[in-house]
Amino acid sequence: MLIAIISLAVVSVGSAVAFIIYEKNKKKQIGLPKKKISNKNFNKFYQKFYLLSSRFRLTNNILLRVRKKVETLAVYDEYSLRRQVAQTMVTIISVILVIILALMVIRPGWLISFWIMVGLVFATDLMIDFFIVRIEKKLLPQIKEFLNRLRYFYAQTHMIDEASFESINYTGSEMKVQAQRIHSTLTSVNPEEEQLKYEEIAPNRFLKVISGLMVLVKEKGDVIDPEKERGTAFTRGIAAITKELNLEIMYRSKLAYRLRFLAPLTLIPIIFALPIQSAIVYLFPIMSRFYESRIGFLGAIFIYAFSIGMYFVIRKIKDVSDVSYQTKLNKIQWEKRLYEKFKIVRLIVKIFSPNYKTVSYAKKSQLIKDANEPLEVEWLTLRQLVLSVITLIILVSGMFYAHKSESQSALYNIIPSSMMTSNVSDEEYEEFKKTTDFDREMIMKLQSASEFTANGIMQTIANQMGIDEVENPKVKQAYDRIMDKYTIVENAYFKWWELLIILLIVFGIWYIPEILLHLQKKLRRKDMENEVHQFLTIISILREFNSIGVLTLLVWLERFSVTFKEPLQKCILNFDSGPEEALEELSNDISFEAFQQIVERLKLSISRLSVKEAFEDIELEREFYLEQREEYNNRSITNRGDFAKLASVSPVASLIILYVMIPIIYISTIHLQSMMTGF
């Protein structure tokens, strides 16, 4: 959990640092920035740092998020972008290390350190909302305005480069950076090569398609269809992109409005848990026993963990960024290294893994493939084992700590359980302290005794208190009090049913990696649907150009693909060996029905029809997609909003139940027992 907090802090601070760097260099950017490298050694260090960070799962996730922010704020080539991202990460990691070192020097305690880290996360999250998210929100409407101006100036000049140049002056500051880069691509010596470079660092898919379409028109020329009487191929393409852009803007705007102010609500229990506990203990000192007991300890752990978990959930719900393609580097897989290096690990994994060529093994293998996770079945089993063992160690250690805390509370807690208020004078406090010391001394004698009887204990208590009569009510009261504490101390050990509960929890934890793979599979299916719909838009634009063939169309689809990128690359490489065989292999590699329909039409384009004829009715498909997408967006906004509201109030509800209602029931039960004993 602490690692997750630090990771979020790193990303948040990194976004703020990226914004500061952007503002510093913003005035210096004209067209394609040419960043001078003043120190080659530092530049090599940043490039190596980028590659090294991309090989680890945790640092790679942080790296991609920082990269997303940096490429939104400014335009670089891939080499300079990596340098800027690495420089930003080195800066923010240094800031985090300084904060950690300061905490180690000051040594304020784990709870205060935890609060400082949470405060850092909250503060930087506000900075993200104010700086980064604000820029992302402004970029999409500015793209729309740029398209409107581009269409207007193109209708006047019918020259794409001049229309692009004129449109730059009417765009906002965020889009102006991107528009200048697109214009420099159009006017370069090799527009197609520069376009490929821009696609690597473009902030979203809309800019990729827009720049690609503009370069295509510049290189191939525009196409006018007199039968349709609705403009040229370029203007129809711009209109299609604008429709999708409008849907995306409305979706993000409505979702942001539904989820406003929900994330900070999840941090309320973390901020007010300790003050509420202190106030209740001050008013009712008996409650200290509850908060120091196992239930109180586990309740506090649950509240902190649940609040932070819901905070991350809401942040994930708010994230609607485009899926970006990640180049598969030689990433360090800890499961692979652990499995291949130690023979004992392989033997243990073999015990828990399904046998090869069994139904269970085939299902897991297919699940991993559908989720697009770089794993083997044995590595997945090892991940489950490690997660379960870590959970087992944490729960067992926490249970031992809770028993120890409960025992210490019974031995050293000064305020008696029957004390309902905090109005204790100094004389009463000293009397309670003497009573606690006396009870602790008697309990230790009982623990060291081989055997004892009730009469013997009462006689010892009477002798210690200087009372001759064993039947004295004070002796009886002291005996009941001491035996209650003795019972608590003797029962403060690890019980078999606690182990059973822990094993049941560990059993549930075992399936978490598989559940995550199922969720990833479901999300990937949605990504596949969105990508196919994007393909329909691209094909509806490209089919208007007579020079577009099947291979060119495949190249365009591969350039804008994320989910299907690798199968498309494989198909392009094998296309010269046999177009029909390559397309057949592509159809076998991807079982998604909507994509297979596109492949079937591509097969017709090779043997019988032209690309334009094969996709003649694609406009109907795209219109259906737009209606389907709008309906899905409405459902998504409702579902995300309802779930986010539930996630935001759940931590507050858990705080009220665990820190207020249950303690009140506890105090009432103890007081009732005390009253019944008095009678």
Task: Quote the CA–CA distance of 332 and 321 in Å, as a whole number.
Answer: 26
Q: What is the pLDDT of residue 10?
A: 47
Q: Is the pTM of this model over 0.85?
A: no
Asked if residue 549 lies in contact with residue 220, where contact means CB atoms within 8 angstroms, the answer is: no
**pLDDT (tens digit, 9 = 90+) per residue, 216-243?**
898 888 887 666 556 788 888 899 899 8
- Which pLDDT score is estimated for 149? 93
Residue 101 has a pLDDT of 78
Each residue of 64-107: pLDDT tens digit? 767 766 666 665 567 777 887 788 778 777 777 787 777 677 76
| pLDDT of the residue at 415 | 63
Residue pair 233/545 in contact by the 8 Å Cβ criterion: yes
Distance, CA of 123 to chain centre: 18
Whole-angstrom Cα distance, residue 174 to residue 196?
A: 21
The Cβ of residue 253 has, within 10 Å, a number of other Cβ atoms equal to 14
Q: What is the pLDDT of residue 386?
A: 93
The confidence score (pLDDT) of residue 393 equals 93
Whether 312 and 4 have beta carbons less than 8 Å apart is answered as: yes
What is the reported pLDDT for 323?
53
pLDDT the model gives residue 32? 39
Helical segments of 319-358, H only:
334-341, 343-352
Return the pLDDT at 325: 46
Say if residues 176 and 145 touch (Cβ distance below 8 Å).
Answer: no
Supply 662's token pair: 């249950």
Q: Tell me, what's the pLDDT at 165?
A: 92
CA distance 495 to 328: 48
**CA gap 89, 53 in Å, rounded:** 10
Q: Which residues of the chain have pLDDT under 50?
A: 1-13, 15-16, 19-38, 325-330, 420-422
pLDDT for the residue 164: 92
Q: What share of the chain is helix, strand, coil (3-state, %, to 5)?
A: 80, 0, 20
